[in-house]
Structure 1
Amino acid sequence: MVTATDECLFCAITERSAHVVMSDETAVAFLDIRPVFKGHVLVVPRLHVETLTDLPADLVGPFFTRVRRAAGAVQEGLGAAGTFVAMNNRISQSVPHLHVHVVPRNRKDGLRGFFWPRTKYASAEEAEDYAARIRAALDRAA
């Protein structure tokens, strides 16, 4: 098992990420730098694996428990009506490290099908504000 690699962007982020919202021995969740909507979080396992089928069976439950917590915190912390939770395995996977997208959703927000338009944060401060709101929701749920 490989816990991190020097070549993997997400492994590097788990070690020194900006805008981390959750971090423990199993997973790290952080803001996507090209969010579909502001507050879009990526949840990655600390163990370096490329796809869901590479994740050891004994880590599937603990990892998805973190995804579930992140989904609840994104919804509550941002006042979203719901979330979109998605994962790609190799095809359309921009970084070869397992990651789950947790995207805040609201009715009539414009997201349709599998076309994921991307946006940007106006500043690092704006991104940190979103991260802080999600972290606060995680703290309240703990």
Structure 2
Amino acid sequence: MSDCLFCRMVAGEIPADVVHETDRTLAFRDINPQAPTHVLVIPKDHHATAGLLVGADPQLLVDVVAAAHAVAVQEGLATEDGSEPGYRIVTNTGPQAGQTVHHLHLHVLGGRPMRWPPG
């Protein structure tokens, strides 16, 4: 989608601080970090939400989650087996949840203790 911020990042039209990339996913640092580590992981194909993506291409959703874990390992938040220190994956769906860019994105957050509930 030409008006989608994240699609434009995938196309290279808008710069991003890319930290991880596969043939189907892109991960980059959030411009307004909410934790010492705050990386967004997106599918390169446009899908507005996780629900829409799982209906269209369930394997791509698996790939996005796998990329999020790879980012956590790369950033020192986890090991390959998923052990400590830990990280949080968040996705917002719809305006009441705070979704402002309507292209599925997972927030990988870590580097400090996370409290629950977040809000």
Q: Match of 2:2?
A: 6
Q: Distance in 2 between matches of 1:30 and 1:22?
A: 7
Pick the aligned partner of 1:15 from 8, 11, 15.
Answer: 11
Q: Distance in 1 between matches of 2:72 and 2:89?
A: 8
TM-score by length of 1: 0.66
Unaligned runs of 5+ in 2: 79-83
Which residue identity is paired with 1:104?
Answer: G
How far apart are residue 35 of structure 1 and its match? 0.6
Which residue identity is paired with 2:92?
Answer: N
TM-score by length of 2: 0.77
- Percent identical: 29
How far apart are residue 114 of structure 1 and its match? 2.2
Higher helix share: 1
Report if aligned partners of 2:89, 2:106 keep a CA contact under 8 Å in 1: yes
Q: Distance in 1 between matches of 2:30 and 2:23?
A: 20
CA RMSD in angstroms comes to 2.2
Alignment size in residue pairs: 107
Report if aligned partners of 1:26, 1:45 keep a CA contact under 8 Å in 2: yes
3-state DSSP class of the match of 2:11? helix
How far apart are residue 76 of structure 1 and its match? 4.6
